[in-house]
Amino acid sequence: MNHRTDITSPADVRLLIERFYGKARPDPIIGHFFTGLDWDHHIPLITSFWEMVLFGTEGYTGDPMTAHVKLHRHMPMQPTDFQHWVRLFTSTVDELFAGAKAEEAKQRATSIAAVMAYKVRVN
């Protein structure tokens, strides 16, 4: 039986993000990019980003493309790193949720990652 429900609340978004970084931080391929991040700052920041993406909630005022262009200058990210990021994100969504918002989250992650992978390389 499938007990998964859709992403419907800020608490759902928070759970998704915490679970995602629970995978990303120890990950052998992309984990090293996250070493030394202030998680008390990063988790609420990313949660507010995804609340904006999925529900149009105001609050996130950052600029993810510029942030990753800067990151790339210090720690180059390969297209394969972005593909792996998307795999981890997608599998985290699928483990926790099912529904229209869950599908939207996976699609948005995939398309933002593709744009980001392109931008970090041309900037």
Q: Where does this chain bind ligand HEM (CB under 6 A)?
A: 30, 33-34, 37, 45-46, 49, 62, 64, 67-68, 71, 77, 81-82, 85, 109, 112-113, 116
Which of residues 3 and 95 has its CB atom nearest to ligand HEM in the complex? 95
- Determine the longest span between alpha carbons in the chain, in angstroms: 47
Q: Write down the least CB distance from residue 5 to ligand HEM, Å.
A: 22
How many Å apart are CA 98 and CA 113, to the nearest integer? 21
Q: Write down the least CB distance from residue 11 to ligand HEM, Å.
A: 19
Which of residues 15 and 112 has its CB atom nearest to ligand HEM in the complex? 112
Which of residues 22 and 62 has its CB atom nearest to ligand HEM in the complex? 62
End-to-end CA distance of the chain: 47
Record the tokens describing residue 37, joined without a space. 């991040």
Q: Write down the least CB distance from residue 58 to ligand HEM, Å.
A: 14
How many Å apart are CA 82 and CA 4, to the nearest integer? 26
Q: Write down the least CB distance from residue 14 to ligand HEM, Å.
A: 14
Bridge partners, 5 (sequence order): 97
